[in-house]
Every structure is written in structure tokens, then in C-alpha cells.
Structure 1
Amino acid sequence: MFFFPSSFGGREMMQYTEAASAAVEALYRGRRTSLSLRALYNKSVPLAKSPGQLSSASILENLLVHCAAAIAANDASRAQHCIWVLNNIAPPDGDPAQRLAAAILRALTARHAAAAAATPRAFSAVALAAFLDLTPLHRFGFTAANSAIVDAVQGLPVVHVVDFSTTHCMQMPTLIDALSSRREGPPYFKLTVATVTVLPPPRLAMSYEEIGRRLVDFARTRGVPMEFRALRSNAIDGFQALVEHLRLQQLVCHGEALVVNCQMKLHCVPERCRGEFLREVRRLNPKLVVLVEDDVDLGDGDLVTRLRAALNYLWVHYEASEAVMKRDREHRDWYEAEIYWKIENLLACEGTEKVERLEQKSKWVKRMKAVGFEGISFAEEAIAEVKTVLDEHATGWGMKMEEDGIVLTWKGHNVVFSTVWVPRLKGETSDYSP
């Protein structure tokens, strides 16, 4: 990627602005060369040697980086100059590359102006279900997890699932349905949900009390006796309140098969707390732990570093939305609004307000092994079910089998990983320290 040196000053900025203006004029006259998002934001793209040779594609990227650097340095004049040029090059209703650039620009502008964070849309239950079906981002993890859970608790009379997820129990009806059809009969099903103050989207216009009531009613229709509990707990301290509740409960409740289901939520736990949280989960001796997250490093570094990382990853979501929802503007806007929330949280927020602290699968695998877990493979039936889900979506989506789990891909690029874990037998050790 191109990096603007700190000495990039008046004359160079004037030349660069002239190049940007030429690109804007070319855009309006329809002379802009079409580039794929991957080429636009990939580090391997060759860069122009002088401002006059810059393409409109590299101008987008370079100006975003320069704008972020100016904002980080509190250089208001230079930041406003970049913002003005970018507003002309990156319309929010343009092609996928322009929409991504516009979203990043909006987040940078919010940071520059210290504006209040955007409020995500609150879905109805029906609309949320439709939203989750737009892409396999969530259903990929749901499907693999449910199959693994049903296998792990086969024959056990009491199943207690602790749900750390961001989709408001939308995974659970399918799991309840699967448990109801066990040969030995359904178990007594307990569901404990972690509710948090700062919750990444999607949002649901329904209380957890109502969610619990509906789930219990649904389970009753399937012949599954069910108990529901929602507990307020903060990701910022590693869900200490919920972990303490589970520890105390184990003193009086014996014979439960404990399953910890982590779907796109553990990245909200600060890095310094992740090892201790997982260590506490290991002490609970669960029957199974499911861990599903985005397979990317986005949380660390200064503003420019985070912006570069976002550009290298988030093109996937905009390209996928264009492929899947090109003629469905309403659903595309829903989807990209949720991605914007993540962009804004990553770039405009700091400290406890920043909850988008994503890490690659390799780091989570090392951490899980360090605290006493070992990964297990998904059964063939689980893999077949995931493939069936992917067949319902655009052809760009695929799956990779890896040693420590499975990975959802978009045109070969890693997007989301899904892994399952069991407590390691005593005597086995790991040489990694989280």
C-alpha cells in the first residue's frame, strides 16, 4: 500500500489534489476503469510513481490513509481537504468500492467531529430472521455448532447451553428442533444468555424476557422441557458476573452437560481478559465449547493501521452484498448499515467504546490450547449440513477444511472460522501462554 510521508506538504498536496480532481472528472465522464474490490484494496496492487499517474482506484485508498493520518495528528486543515476530495470521489450510492470508501470516510468524519455513534436498526423477529438469511455469515456458524452440540450431548438427560452470541437466540429454534428428535427422547434443556450493555449489531426490537417466553413456548410444541435465563454481564471484564453465576450453579446442579456457545461475541472481550475468561470456562469443565469468529486481525494498532486492515478485509462484505443483493436495494442497505457500524466502531471509537477487536483464527487456537482445550473435528454430517447451507447462497461462498476447524470463504478469501473444543485430558500440556 501507498504511505504518505510526514513531509507530504503544500506542493505535493496541490499536485495530488489536481490528480484527484482529474479522477473525479473522469468519473463523471464515465472514463473510470472498472477494478475489482480485491484488486483495489490488495497490497499487491502496483502503485503510481507520481501524483499525475495515480489511478482513481489508488486515489481512493491513498486519500483515505492520508485523511486518517491527518485526523490522528489533529491536522484539521489537511483532514478537511482530504474529506472534501473524497466526498467527490466516493459517493455512498456508487459501486461497491465507492460505498466501502464512503463508509470509511463517514467513520473518519465522525471521529474528526467527535460525533455520536450511529444507532443500528432494530429489527423485528421476522425481519431479523430474513436479515440473517441474506448471507451465510451467521448460518455457517449456527449450522456447524448445532450439529456438534447434538452429537456431544447424545444420551444425556440435562443439557445446559450458555450462549455468547450477537443474534438474540436465532440459532436456538433449530437446535431445539434437533434435540426433540433424539432417539432416546429430548433432554431437559436449559439456556443461559449473556446480555451486554454495548452489543454489536444486529439489534432486535424485543426484550430478552419476550425472547425467552417465545423460546419456551416453541420448545413446548416440540416436546422439549425448557428453562431460560438472561443474565446481564459485561464483555469489558470478561463476563465475570455470568462466569461467577455458572460457578455457583455447578455447586447445586449436578449431572448437567454444559455447552458454551460463542458466536461472534468473544472479540468484544478486551485482549487482556481473553485468556482469563477462557481459563474460567475451562474450570467449569464443559462438555463442549463452540468458538466462531471473523478470521481477521482488526483490533490492534493506531488509526492508520486499523484503516489499512479494514480495507484489506471489508471489501469482502461489499463485494458479496453487490453479488447477492444488487437488485434488492433495501436488503443491501440493511446489510451495509450493519457493516458500517463495525467500521465506525473500529475507526471512530477508542477505549471501552471500541468493541470490534477481531483476531485471526490462529491466535484463538493458540489461546484455547493454552488454557486446557483441544480441538476436535466436525462430523461428516455437520460438514454436509454446512455445504447444504452454502448451496443456498451465491456461488462466491465456499468452505475450507483446516486442521483446527472449518472456514467460510468468499472467492477463496477467509471470512469466518468455526471450531469446536473439549477439555484436554490431564497430563497433556501446551507450550503457549495467552
Structure 2
Amino acid sequence: MESSNAEPNRFAFGQGAFGAERPLAKLNQTGPKFLSSNSKRAIRDFLPAQNPKKKLADLLDAHSQTSNDPGQPLSAEHLIVYVFGSFSNTLSLSSSDYDTSIFINRFSEESESIKTPVQRSSVSISSKQLLMEAATAISEDRADVAWEILTRLSAMPNPMGTYSDQKLIEYMLFALKSRVSPVDNPPPVVELFTEDHVLSAQSIYDVSPCFELGFMAANLAILEAASEQPSTNKLHVIDFDIGLERQYPDLLCALPRRQAGNQTTLKITTLADSFNGEERLRMVGDRLSKLAANIGVRLVFNIVSQKLSELSGDPLGCEANEVLAVNLAFKLYRMPDKSVSRENPHDGLLRCVKGLAPQVVTLVEQEMNGNTAPFMARVGEAMAYYGALLESIESPFPRDIAEQARVEEGLGWKLGNTVACEGRERVERCEVFGKWRARMEMAGFELTLGAYWFNRGYTVKEENGGVCLGWRGRTLTVASAWR
């Protein structure tokens, strides 16, 4: 989608390639000190690849060929280099004086358009003020005043600013109208349980490096846990919400490099529920099985139909001679907690997971205070969070029209549900990492995952033990590993 304020040389996110020669040539001179010349050459060969599914596989290939000890897990430094190198054509690599950080800075010698920072556009001040005035009126039970403001805003011409600004105003306007008049403007609730929303979420994850790196950080934690038990080539991942299946192709491609010469067995166990029925899960298993067969990994895909409160190691097929990992990527924020349900399935799941004694638990979540926050705070959070997310994925290059429509529709549903709904109808109840951390620690888990920092609009930093992935200082997702 085109933007009037777009930076001329900014690369379309999700394309997975560098577009210029000179930044690549610069790599040999400015590459990180921890990379050998062979590793740098492997990066140059890797960066033009167009298939995002190959990122982690090719990365592991390069590691196995250039590392003194290919059996050791890949460092997070290499991961950051590869992932973010695949999303921009204006990055160069530079080493850091710190053992726990890597700084990947923009190649600033290429053109004036790169030297000059992109001016961040903002939502039209008058439109934003009107939205907040309407939200204030709603919070004060003055529905007639709120409706008058929203009607006036609807009649205004499109605000000045970028395309992402306009979409943010459109989504927020609909959300507030749904809050005031849900009969005439039904808020999105059922939509968040449909196949269309699953597809929209997959598209969002594909076009945003924040989500992409979150999944890859979870995979890295799982691979590191597996490397700690070299005596077994059996890895068992329990995933309570595999309907998105986004991270498993990369994990499958990485596994054959872990134990050269021995066939790796990956067992995935998932639960059927009202959202992910057995038919859908069987289709997921069939797709992953075909991929596993092509790359030489033995895949065992189990579907369990049982209530979370009744789960234990037996129905989940846990065995003593396997590395056990539990993946909670984008799962907990869709589960009711004690503020919604007396049964509190949210904390019940964490107790169940702790009882399984896994080697690692991976947690990836959106970073937004959208659960127990009061209405006005939630409106402000939604506007800031989705404004940053929309801006981060805005591209001067046109994407596939169908994918663009899916992304926009999915984000509109998510924002509308966050602002317009209460109780059980608020399907997505995002939290900030501090709250996830408190809940995990109360359940008996300890953090294990470190973090790194990236500087070019997108940021990767460590905060309170989590890997915070964001856009221009606003954290969008947080990844963490526990045991």
C-alpha cells in the first residue's frame, strides 16, 4: 500500500531480500567480529533468498559449516543478523563492545534518503482529539454526547497523514461506535473464532518482523533445550493452540542439523477445542508431515480431545527419553482469567504445564495492557499499540491485495474487540510482560532467555528478562523462555 511519506529506499517488509549491492559489499568490511569470512559469505548468499520458510534452515546450514562446534546451539547474535537482514535493504552489520548485545545499524553512506531519518507521521490531531473526547463521554455515561462526536467525525473528510494513520482512525471510530450502539454496529466477537481470522493472523505474523522474530526466538529456546540432552534425538513439543502453525516449518528445517547422521523425531501434541477442531488440526498435521518427510524428520502428530483441567502426562504421551517443550506462543491472551471466569482456566493451564516438568516453556505475547485496564486506559493503549503496528508494516511497495485485505481486516477486528467489548465477549485480553512474568513466577517457573537490541525503527531489547520486539520504542511483542 503506497504512502505519501514513504521513504524511497525502504524495502517491503516480508520480502526477505536485500535489494542493493553496496550494503552487501560493505558487509566484509564492517561485519561483526564474531563472524568468520565464511560466515559473512554465507550471509551474503542467504540474504537474497525470497522464501521466508528457508531463513532458519539456511541459517543452521551456515552455522554447521562454519562453526567449530556445529552441535552447539546457534547464538542469538546470528539469529538477529539473519532475521532482520531479511527484512531490509539498508542494513549493515557492526560489532558490539558488549558480550550480550549486538547493534545492527543502518548503512548511512548510501544516499541522502538513508542519511535523513524518516519523519514519523502522526494521526491528525483534530481526529485524535475527537476520538478521545468521544471515549471520555462514553466513560462518563454520556452516550448521546459520544454519538454526536462520532457522527461529526464520520462526516469529516479523510484526515491528512499516512495510510496507516487513516486506517487507525477508521478502526477506532468503528470500535467506539460499537461501544455506544452495539445493536447497530455489532462489535467483532464471533469473527475472532473464524477461519478468516486465523488466516488474517497468519498474514500479520508474516509481514511483521516483531512477530516473526518472536516465533524464531521461541524456536531457538526449544533448540537450546534439546542441545542440553545430546543423548536423545527425540523432541516432544506440546502446543495448546497450534491452529496458526506459523513457527513449526522453521523448527522442522532446523532439527536435522542438531544431530547429523541420526534421524530426529519430533512429536507434536495439540488439543482439539471449539476453536481448533479435530478436522482443522488434522489438516495442520498433514501439511507438517509432508514437510517433515521432505527434509528427513520423523514427525508424530497427536491430537488430544480432553479438558485442560483433566490433563496430565499420560494422555499427552510424555516419555522419559525425550526432551519436553511446551509452546505457549500467542495462547494465553485468548484465555479467560479470574477477572472473567471463576474457574480461571488461564492459571489452571499454567499449573498443568508446571506439573509436566518440561525442559523449556516458550511464551510469546503482544505487549499491550488490554485485560483489566479501565476503559479509557484501554482506548489509549489500543490507539498507541495498533498505531505503531500499522505504521511498522506500512510499505511503499504494493503487497498481494488479498493478503493486505486480510491483515487490515484482522487488525480491525482485534482493535474493535479490545475497545468495544467487556467480559467474555472480549476474546483477546492482552497483557504487558510484567504481568505475564508475575503469573509465570507464581506458577513456579524461572526465566532462561536473554535478549538483544536492534536499532532501525524496529527494536529488540531486554527488559525484565524478556525479549521485547517493537517499533520506534513501542514494544509490540515479547518473547520469553521458562523452566
Write the deviation string for residues 316-362 of structure 1: whole angstroms up to 9, x where unpaired: 0122133x356448354432322111111112222212122111112
Given candidates 145, 165, 190, the residue that maps to 2:267 is 190
Given candidates 164, 174, 179, the residue that maps to 2:250 is 174
Structure 2 gaps, min length 5: 1-118, 339-343
Write the deviation string for residues 180-235 of structure 1: whole angstroms up to 9, x where unpaired: 22225243221122455458xxxx9x8221111121122122222222133467xx
Write the deviation string for residues 3-37 of structure 1: whole angstroms up to 9, x where unpaired: xxxxxxxxxxxxxxxxxxxxxxxxxxxxxxxx955
1:81–1:166 distance in 2 versus 1, CA, 3 Å: farther
Equivalent position of 1:116 in the other structure: 186
Aligned length: 347
Answer yes or no: is the 8 Å Cα contact 2:243–2:280 preserved in 1: no
CA offset at residue 376 of structure 1? 1.2
1:286–1:359 distance in 2 versus 1, CA, 3 Å: same
Rounded to whole Å, the distance in 2 between the matches of 1:101 and 1:124 is: 21
Rounded to whole Å, the distance in 2 between the matches of 1:299 and 1:325 is: 34
Rounded to whole Å, the distance in 1 between the matches of 2:200 and 2:382 is: 28
User: Is 1:142 matched up with 2:215?
Assistant: yes
> Equivalent residue of 1:301, what SS?
coil
Given candidates 214, 234, 239, the residue that maps to 1:163 is 239
Equivalent position of 1:103 in the other structure: 171
Answer yes or no: is the 8 Å Cα contact 1:163–1:192 preserved in 2: yes
Write the deviation string for residues 274-296 of structure 1: whole angstroms up to 9, x where unpaired: 33432221111011000111222
User: Is 1:82 matched up with 2:149?
Assistant: yes
Rounded to whole Å, the distance in 2 between the matches of 1:36 and 1:363 is: 30
Identity %: 28
Answer yes or no: is the 8 Å Cα contact 2:200–2:406 preserved in 1: no
Equivalent position of 1:363 in the other structure: 435
Rounded to whole Å, the distance in 2 between the matches of 1:126 and 1:198 is: 13
Q: What one-letter code is carried by the residue in structure 2 that aligns with 1:149?
A: I
Equivalent position of 1:67 in the other structure: 134
> Equivalent residue of 1:228, what SS?
strand
Equivalent position of 2:469 in the other structure: 408
CA offset at residue 136 of structure 1? 1.1
> Equivalent residue of 1:258, what SS?
strand
Rounded to whole Å, the distance in 2 between the matches of 1:69 and 1:266 is: 30
User: Is 1:287 matched up with 2:363?
Assistant: no
Rounded to whole Å, the distance in 2 between the matches of 1:150 and 1:98 is: 42
CA offset at residue 74 of structure 1? 5.3
Answer yes or no: is the 8 Å Cα contact 1:90–1:99 preserved in 2: no
1:402–1:72 distance in 2 versus 1, CA, 3 Å: closer
1:225–1:328 distance in 2 versus 1, CA, 3 Å: closer
> Equivalent residue of 2:481, what SS?
strand
> Equivalent residue of 1:227, what SS?
strand
Q: What one-letter code is carried by the residue in structure 2 that aligns with 1:254?
A: A
Equivalent position of 1:262 in the other structure: 328
Q: What one-letter code is carried by the residue in structure 1 that aligns with 2:267?
A: K
Answer yes or no: is the 8 Å Cα contact 1:196–1:232 preserved in 2: yes
Write the deviation string for residues 44-63 of structure 1: whole angstroms up to 9, x where unpaired: xxxxxxxxxxxx60x32332
Rounded to whole Å, the distance in 2 between the matches of 1:250 and 1:135 is: 33
The structure with more strand, counted as a fraction of residues: 1
Rounded to whole Å, the distance in 1 between the matches of 2:271 and 2:468 is: 25
Rounded to whole Å, the distance in 1 between the matches of 2:210 and 2:294 is: 29
> Equivalent residue of 1:374, what SS?
coil
> Equivalent residue of 1:248, what SS?
coil
Equivalent position of 2:98 in the other structure: none
Q: What one-letter code is carried by the residue in structure 1 that aligns with 2:434?
A: S
Structure 1 gaps, min length 5: 1-34, 41-55, 234-240, 423-434
Write the deviation string for residues 155-198 of structure 1: whole angstroms up to 9, x where unpaired: 23332111245762121111111112222524322112245545
Q: What one-letter code is carried by the residue in structure 2 that aligns with 1:213?
A: D
> Equivalent residue of 2:210, what SS?
coil
Moved more, 326-335 or 407-416: 326-335
CA offset at residue 81 of structure 1? 0.8
Answer yes or no: is the 8 Å Cα contact 2:366–2:478 preserved in 1: yes
TM-score by length of 1: 0.70
CA-based RMSD: 3.4
CA offset at residue 71 of structure 1? 3.9
User: Is 1:208 matched up with 2:208?
Assistant: no
Answer yes or no: is the 8 Å Cα contact 2:330–2:366 preserved in 1: yes
Write the deviation string for residues 134-162 of structure 1: whole angstroms up to 9, x where unpaired: 11132111111112211211323332111
